[in-house]
Amino acid sequence: MQTLDAKPFRIPQDTSGKWTVVLFTAPWGDDKRSQIPGTVKALTTFATNRPTGDLQTVVAVVTDNID
């Protein structure tokens, strides 16, 4: 994957040995189809049961240009 500043992000090399959640979404903005609020709530529940600093989250916005 590529970061917003055009740098590569590689799994597992760039995850620092942490649990990593990758949330794939489309750039829907305010579209009511977005599942992000429910996903974030579930992720928050999961994260509170992990040791502090053991989890990182990556949000991948997938556009029509998959490259």
Query: Do the beta carbons of residue 8 and residue 46 sit within 8 Å?
Result: no
Buried b (16+ CB within 10 A) or exposed e, 25-60: eeeeeeeeeeeeeeeeeeeeeebeeeeeeebeeeee
pLDDT, averaged per 10 consecutive residues of the chain (67 residues), comes to 85 84 72 65 78 80 67
Written as six digits, the tokens of 67 are: 């490259």
Give the C-alpha separation, 15 to 36, whole Å: 22
What's the pLDDT at 31?
Answer: 60
**Residues spanned by the domain of 47:** 1-67
Global pTM reads 0.58
Number of domains composing the chain:
1
Residue 2: strand pairing partners: 8
